[in-house]
Structure 1
Amino acid sequence: MSRLGELAAYKTIVAQRLIGNSNICKGLFYSDSDYLDQPEMANPEQLLHDRIYLYPYKPVESGNENEARAWITISLNDFNGVGSSVIRAGFLTIEVLAHKGLQRTAYELLRTDHIAAEIDEMLSLERSIGIGRLQFAGMNEISLNENHYGVSLKYRPVDFG
Protein backbone atom coordinates (compact mmCIF):
# COMPACT_ATOMS: atom_id res chain seq x y z
CA MET A 1 0.00 0.00 0.00
CA SER A 2 1.27 3.49 -0.78
CA ARG A 3 2.09 5.92 2.02
CA LEU A 4 -1.03 7.90 1.12
CA GLY A 5 -3.10 4.72 1.35
CA GLU A 6 -1.57 4.00 4.73
CA LEU A 7 -2.56 7.46 5.93
CA ALA A 8 -6.15 6.88 4.83
CA ALA A 9 -6.20 3.55 6.68
CA TYR A 10 -5.28 5.33 9.93
CA LYS A 11 -8.68 7.02 9.96
CA THR A 12 -10.33 3.61 9.98
CA ILE A 13 -8.10 2.50 12.85
CA VAL A 14 -9.11 5.57 14.85
CA ALA A 15 -12.80 4.93 14.09
CA GLN A 16 -12.41 1.35 15.32
CA ARG A 17 -10.91 2.67 18.58
CA LEU A 18 -13.87 5.04 18.97
CA ILE A 19 -16.50 2.33 18.56
CA GLY A 20 -14.57 0.26 21.08
CA ASN A 21 -15.27 2.89 23.75
CA SER A 22 -18.70 2.32 25.29
CA ASN A 23 -18.99 5.87 26.68
CA ILE A 24 -18.33 7.43 23.28
CA CYS A 25 -20.83 5.11 21.61
CA LYS A 26 -23.52 5.88 24.17
CA GLY A 27 -22.88 9.63 23.84
CA LEU A 28 -23.38 9.42 20.08
CA PHE A 29 -26.29 6.97 20.03
CA TYR A 30 -28.57 7.92 22.92
CA SER A 31 -30.33 11.26 23.09
CA ASP A 32 -31.08 10.89 26.82
CA SER A 33 -29.27 13.30 29.14
CA ASP A 34 -28.20 10.28 31.22
CA TYR A 35 -26.76 8.44 28.21
CA LEU A 36 -24.01 6.77 30.26
CA ASP A 37 -26.69 4.97 32.29
CA GLN A 38 -28.27 3.48 29.15
CA PRO A 39 -27.66 -0.13 28.04
CA GLU A 40 -24.56 -1.10 26.12
CA MET A 41 -25.01 -0.95 22.37
CA ALA A 42 -25.41 -4.42 20.85
CA ASN A 43 -23.82 -3.33 17.57
CA PRO A 44 -21.60 -0.25 17.93
CA GLU A 45 -20.37 -0.77 14.33
CA GLN A 46 -23.70 0.74 13.23
CA LEU A 47 -22.26 4.13 14.23
CA LEU A 48 -19.70 4.00 11.41
CA HIS A 49 -20.81 6.19 8.51
CA ASP A 50 -23.90 7.19 10.49
CA ARG A 51 -22.44 8.99 13.54
CA ILE A 52 -18.71 8.49 12.97
CA TYR A 53 -17.49 9.78 9.63
CA LEU A 54 -14.05 9.29 8.09
CA TYR A 55 -14.26 12.70 6.45
CA PRO A 56 -15.35 16.19 7.57
CA TYR A 57 -19.07 15.56 7.01
CA LYS A 58 -21.61 18.11 8.14
CA PRO A 59 -25.07 16.48 8.26
CA VAL A 60 -26.61 19.88 8.96
CA GLU A 61 -25.61 20.94 5.45
CA SER A 62 -27.41 17.92 3.99
CA GLY A 63 -30.98 18.70 4.95
CA ASN A 64 -30.79 17.29 8.50
CA GLU A 65 -30.78 20.66 10.26
CA ASN A 66 -33.62 19.79 12.64
CA GLU A 67 -32.46 16.32 13.63
CA ALA A 68 -31.07 16.23 17.17
CA ARG A 69 -27.97 14.07 16.84
CA ALA A 70 -24.33 13.92 17.85
CA TRP A 71 -21.51 12.87 15.52
CA ILE A 72 -17.75 12.67 15.10
CA THR A 73 -15.64 13.36 12.04
CA ILE A 74 -12.08 12.16 11.52
CA SER A 75 -9.75 13.84 9.05
CA LEU A 76 -6.07 14.18 8.25
CA ASN A 77 -4.72 17.65 7.61
CA ASP A 78 -1.50 19.31 6.54
CA PHE A 79 0.51 16.14 5.91
CA ASN A 80 3.54 16.58 3.70
CA GLY A 81 6.28 14.38 2.42
CA VAL A 82 3.64 11.80 1.42
CA GLY A 83 5.41 11.04 -1.88
CA SER A 84 8.68 10.26 -0.14
CA SER A 85 9.50 7.37 2.12
CA VAL A 86 8.93 9.52 5.20
CA ILE A 87 5.82 11.45 6.15
CA ARG A 88 7.16 14.52 7.89
CA ALA A 89 4.24 16.45 9.34
CA GLY A 90 0.50 16.57 9.72
CA PHE A 91 -2.46 16.47 12.05
CA LEU A 92 -5.18 14.04 12.95
CA THR A 93 -8.28 16.18 13.46
CA ILE A 94 -11.35 14.90 15.25
CA GLU A 95 -14.49 17.00 15.48
CA VAL A 96 -17.21 16.21 18.01
CA LEU A 97 -20.49 17.96 17.27
CA ALA A 98 -24.05 17.82 18.59
CA HIS A 99 -27.37 19.59 18.35
CA LYS A 100 -27.83 22.13 21.14
CA GLY A 101 -30.75 20.10 22.48
CA LEU A 102 -28.34 17.26 23.28
CA GLN A 103 -25.57 19.30 24.89
CA ARG A 104 -26.88 19.37 28.46
CA THR A 105 -26.34 16.11 30.29
CA ALA A 106 -26.98 14.60 33.69
CA TYR A 107 -23.24 14.83 34.23
CA GLU A 108 -20.89 17.75 34.86
CA LEU A 109 -19.86 18.23 31.22
CA LEU A 110 -21.60 19.09 28.01
CA ARG A 111 -22.08 16.05 25.77
CA THR A 112 -19.46 17.19 23.25
CA ASP A 113 -16.97 18.03 26.02
CA HIS A 114 -17.47 14.63 27.63
CA ILE A 115 -17.00 12.76 24.34
CA ALA A 116 -13.93 14.90 23.56
CA ALA A 117 -12.44 14.09 26.98
CA GLU A 118 -12.97 10.37 26.34
CA ILE A 119 -11.28 10.69 22.95
CA ASP A 120 -8.36 12.62 24.40
CA GLU A 121 -7.85 10.04 27.13
CA MET A 122 -7.79 7.31 24.48
CA LEU A 123 -5.56 9.01 21.92
CA SER A 124 -3.06 11.09 23.88
CA LEU A 125 0.26 9.38 23.61
CA GLU A 126 -1.39 6.53 21.65
CA ARG A 127 1.13 4.43 19.74
CA SER A 128 -0.97 1.68 18.22
CA ILE A 129 -2.60 3.39 15.24
CA GLY A 130 0.49 3.26 13.08
CA ILE A 131 1.43 6.91 12.76
CA GLY A 132 3.53 7.19 15.88
CA ARG A 133 2.75 8.57 19.28
CA LEU A 134 -0.06 11.14 19.16
CA GLN A 135 0.62 14.42 20.90
CA PHE A 136 -2.27 16.76 21.70
CA ALA A 137 -1.84 19.81 19.49
CA GLY A 138 -4.91 21.86 20.33
CA MET A 139 -8.64 22.23 20.76
CA ASN A 140 -11.09 24.77 19.41
CA GLU A 141 -14.76 25.21 20.07
CA ILE A 142 -16.74 25.25 16.84
CA SER A 143 -20.20 26.32 15.78
CA LEU A 144 -21.82 25.15 12.57
CA ASN A 145 -24.97 27.22 12.94
CA GLU A 146 -27.34 28.39 15.67
CA ASN A 147 -28.23 24.78 16.57
CA HIS A 148 -25.01 22.77 16.29
CA TYR A 149 -21.89 23.17 18.41
CA GLY A 150 -18.88 21.19 19.43
CA VAL A 151 -15.11 20.93 19.61
CA SER A 152 -12.27 20.23 17.23
CA LEU A 153 -9.32 18.25 18.59
CA LYS A 154 -5.93 18.15 16.87
CA TYR A 155 -3.23 15.57 17.39
CA ARG A 156 0.25 15.58 15.90
CA PRO A 157 1.93 12.26 15.28
CA VAL A 158 5.46 12.37 16.67
CA ASP A 159 8.44 10.03 16.32
CA PHE A 160 7.24 8.23 13.22
CA GLY A 161 8.41 7.92 9.67
Structure 2
Amino acid sequence: MAKFEQVNTYINDTMLLLINNQNLCKLLEYSVDDPFQELDIAETDTLLYNKIYPFPKVPKTETEKSSTLCVFFDDFRLGSDNRGTKEGTIIFNVIVHNDLWRMTGTGMLRPYAILSEIDNIFNNERVMGIKKVQFDKARFLYVNENYSGYQVSYSITSVN
Protein backbone atom coordinates (compact mmCIF):
# COMPACT_ATOMS: atom_id res chain seq x y z
CA MET A 1 0.00 0.00 0.00
CA ALA A 2 1.10 3.53 -0.60
CA LYS A 3 1.68 6.05 2.12
CA PHE A 4 -1.20 5.76 4.55
CA GLU A 5 -2.41 9.25 3.60
CA GLN A 6 -3.30 7.76 0.20
CA VAL A 7 -5.59 5.13 1.70
CA ASN A 8 -8.40 7.68 1.94
CA THR A 9 -7.95 8.50 -1.75
CA TYR A 10 -7.96 4.80 -2.63
CA ILE A 11 -11.14 4.08 -0.66
CA ASN A 12 -12.93 7.13 -2.12
CA ASP A 13 -11.90 6.16 -5.66
CA THR A 14 -13.09 2.61 -4.98
CA MET A 15 -16.47 3.84 -3.76
CA LEU A 16 -16.84 5.92 -6.94
CA LEU A 17 -16.04 2.91 -9.13
CA LEU A 18 -18.71 0.92 -7.31
CA ILE A 19 -21.48 3.53 -7.62
CA ASN A 20 -20.66 4.05 -11.31
CA ASN A 21 -21.76 0.47 -12.03
CA GLN A 22 -25.53 0.48 -12.58
CA ASN A 23 -25.86 -3.31 -12.43
CA LEU A 24 -24.13 -3.42 -9.07
CA CYS A 25 -26.24 -0.54 -7.76
CA LYS A 26 -29.45 -2.22 -8.91
CA LEU A 27 -28.46 -5.51 -7.26
CA LEU A 28 -27.94 -3.68 -3.98
CA GLU A 29 -30.88 -1.26 -4.15
CA TYR A 30 -33.72 -3.34 -5.59
CA SER A 31 -34.86 -6.36 -3.57
CA VAL A 32 -36.86 -7.80 -6.48
CA ASP A 33 -36.48 -10.98 -8.55
CA ASP A 34 -35.00 -9.13 -11.55
CA PRO A 35 -33.29 -5.91 -10.45
CA PHE A 36 -31.76 -5.44 -13.92
CA GLN A 37 -35.21 -4.63 -15.30
CA GLU A 38 -35.66 -1.74 -12.87
CA LEU A 39 -35.03 1.88 -13.85
CA ASP A 40 -31.47 3.15 -13.64
CA ILE A 41 -30.64 4.83 -10.36
CA ALA A 42 -30.11 8.51 -11.19
CA GLU A 43 -28.26 9.43 -8.00
CA THR A 44 -26.20 6.38 -7.15
CA ASP A 45 -24.31 8.35 -4.50
CA THR A 46 -27.37 7.85 -2.26
CA LEU A 47 -26.20 4.24 -1.87
CA LEU A 48 -23.08 5.42 -0.03
CA TYR A 49 -23.44 4.77 3.70
CA ASN A 50 -26.84 3.18 3.00
CA LYS A 51 -25.94 0.13 0.91
CA ILE A 52 -22.19 0.59 0.32
CA TYR A 53 -19.90 1.22 3.27
CA PRO A 54 -16.13 1.89 3.44
CA PHE A 55 -15.87 -0.22 6.61
CA PRO A 56 -17.27 -3.52 7.91
CA LYS A 57 -20.97 -3.27 8.79
CA VAL A 58 -23.58 -5.85 9.67
CA PRO A 59 -27.21 -5.14 8.67
CA LYS A 60 -29.73 -4.91 11.50
CA THR A 61 -31.93 -7.98 11.56
CA GLU A 62 -35.07 -6.07 12.54
CA THR A 63 -35.03 -3.79 9.47
CA GLU A 64 -36.28 -4.64 5.99
CA LYS A 65 -34.54 -7.36 3.99
CA SER A 66 -31.58 -5.88 2.14
CA SER A 67 -28.20 -6.32 0.49
CA THR A 68 -25.06 -4.57 1.70
CA LEU A 69 -21.57 -4.15 0.31
CA CYS A 70 -18.66 -3.24 2.60
CA VAL A 71 -15.21 -2.41 1.28
CA PHE A 72 -12.06 -1.87 3.33
CA PHE A 73 -8.31 -2.41 3.33
CA ASP A 74 -6.45 -4.97 5.41
CA ASP A 75 -3.19 -6.85 5.80
CA PHE A 76 -0.70 -4.05 5.06
CA ARG A 77 2.90 -5.34 4.79
CA LEU A 78 6.25 -4.74 3.14
CA GLY A 79 6.55 -6.22 -0.33
CA SER A 80 7.75 -9.82 -0.32
CA ASP A 81 9.82 -9.40 -3.49
CA ASN A 82 10.68 -5.71 -3.22
CA ARG A 83 11.12 -3.96 0.13
CA GLY A 84 10.48 -0.65 -1.65
CA THR A 85 6.82 -1.59 -2.03
CA LYS A 86 3.89 -2.15 0.29
CA GLU A 87 1.38 -4.89 -0.30
CA GLY A 88 -2.12 -5.08 1.03
CA THR A 89 -5.57 -6.44 0.50
CA ILE A 90 -8.80 -4.77 -0.48
CA ILE A 91 -11.74 -6.71 0.93
CA PHE A 92 -15.36 -6.70 -0.17
CA ASN A 93 -18.02 -8.15 2.13
CA VAL A 94 -21.14 -9.00 0.15
CA ILE A 95 -23.96 -9.45 2.66
CA VAL A 96 -27.43 -10.46 1.45
CA HIS A 97 -30.60 -11.37 3.34
CA ASN A 98 -31.13 -15.09 2.83
CA ASP A 99 -34.57 -14.50 1.28
CA LEU A 100 -32.98 -12.30 -1.42
CA TRP A 101 -30.31 -14.73 -2.62
CA ARG A 102 -32.47 -16.29 -5.33
CA MET A 103 -33.48 -13.97 -8.16
CA THR A 104 -36.04 -16.08 -10.02
CA GLY A 105 -36.42 -13.46 -12.74
CA THR A 106 -32.78 -13.88 -13.78
CA GLY A 107 -31.95 -17.48 -12.84
CA MET A 108 -29.07 -16.06 -10.80
CA LEU A 109 -28.14 -15.91 -7.15
CA ARG A 110 -27.71 -12.32 -5.97
CA PRO A 111 -24.38 -12.69 -4.09
CA TYR A 112 -22.70 -14.28 -7.12
CA ALA A 113 -24.08 -11.57 -9.41
CA ILE A 114 -22.66 -8.92 -7.04
CA LEU A 115 -19.30 -10.73 -6.92
CA SER A 116 -19.24 -10.82 -10.72
CA GLU A 117 -19.76 -7.06 -10.97
CA ILE A 118 -17.01 -6.43 -8.40
CA ASP A 119 -14.65 -8.75 -10.25
CA ASN A 120 -15.37 -7.01 -13.57
CA ILE A 121 -14.42 -3.67 -12.02
CA PHE A 122 -11.27 -4.67 -10.14
CA ASN A 123 -9.68 -7.96 -11.20
CA ASN A 124 -6.62 -7.45 -13.43
CA GLU A 125 -7.29 -3.72 -13.64
CA ARG A 126 -5.04 -0.77 -12.76
CA VAL A 127 -7.39 1.03 -10.41
CA MET A 128 -4.98 1.66 -7.52
CA GLY A 129 -1.33 1.16 -6.68
CA ILE A 130 1.50 0.44 -9.11
CA LYS A 131 0.35 -2.96 -10.35
CA LYS A 132 -2.89 -4.44 -11.52
CA VAL A 133 -5.27 -5.50 -8.77
CA GLN A 134 -5.25 -9.30 -8.51
CA PHE A 135 -7.93 -11.66 -7.22
CA ASP A 136 -6.71 -13.38 -4.06
CA LYS A 137 -9.58 -15.43 -2.62
CA ALA A 138 -13.26 -15.62 -1.78
CA ARG A 139 -14.94 -17.34 1.12
CA PHE A 140 -18.45 -17.86 2.41
CA LEU A 141 -19.49 -15.35 5.04
CA TYR A 142 -22.05 -16.34 7.68
CA VAL A 143 -23.37 -13.20 9.39
CA ASN A 144 -26.39 -14.40 11.37
CA GLU A 145 -29.52 -16.50 10.88
CA ASN A 146 -30.90 -13.93 8.39
CA TYR A 147 -27.83 -12.76 6.47
CA SER A 148 -24.96 -14.45 4.67
CA GLY A 149 -22.79 -13.84 1.65
CA TYR A 150 -19.18 -13.80 0.60
CA GLN A 151 -15.95 -12.05 1.43
CA VAL A 152 -13.73 -11.55 -1.60
CA SER A 153 -10.23 -10.12 -1.44
CA TYR A 154 -7.84 -8.70 -4.01
CA SER A 155 -4.10 -8.07 -3.66
CA ILE A 156 -2.74 -4.59 -4.28
CA THR A 157 0.81 -3.25 -4.46
CA SER A 158 2.03 0.30 -4.07
CA VAL A 159 5.22 2.24 -3.45
CA ASN A 160 6.51 2.20 0.11
Answering whether residue 97 of structure 2 is matched by residue 104 of structure 1, we say no
Deviation at 1:128, TM superposition (A): 2.6
Superposed displacement of residue 36, structure 1 = 0.5
Q: Please report the TM-score for the alignment, with normalisation by the length of structure 1.
A: 0.88
- For 1:71, the equivalent position in structure 2 comes to 68
Quote the offset at 1:122 in angstroms: 1.1
Question: Is 2:88 aligned against 1:90?
Answer: yes
Deviation per residue, 1:11-63 (Å, 9 max, x gap): 11111101000100000111111101100001100000110000011123xxx
With over 3 angstroms needed to count, the CA separation of the structure-2 counterparts of 1:130 and 1:90, relative to structure 1, is closer
Higher strand share: 2
Deviation at 1:80, TM superposition (A): 2.5
**Cα distance change, pair 115–147 in 1 and its aligned pair in 2 (3 A):** same
Contact residue 129 and residue 156 of structure 2 kept, 8 A: no
> C-alpha distance in 2, partners of 1:87/1:68?
42
Q: How many residues align?
A: 154
Secondary structure of the residue that 1:49 maps to in structure 2?
A: coil
Task: Tell me which of the two structures has the higher relative contact order, counting C-alpha pairs closer than 8 angstroms and 6 or more residues apart.
Answer: 2
Identity of aligned residues (%): 29
Letter of the structure 2 residue corresponding to residue 149 of structure 1: S
Q: CA deviation at 1:129?
A: 2.8
Q: CA deviation at 1:88?
A: 1.9
User: Could you say which residue in structure 1 is the equivalent of 2:147?
Assistant: 148
State the Cα deviation string for residues 74-116 of structure 1 (Å, max 9, x = none): 01111025xxx95522100011111112111022321111011
List alignment gaps of at least 5 residues for structure 1: none
Q: CA deviation at 1:9?
A: 2.0
Q: 1:153 to 1:28 in 2, by over 3 A?
A: same
**1:7: how far off?**
1.5
State TM-score, norm by structure 2: 0.88
Question: Which structure 2 segments of 5+ residues have no match?
Answer: none
**Residue identity opposite 2:144 in structure 1:** N
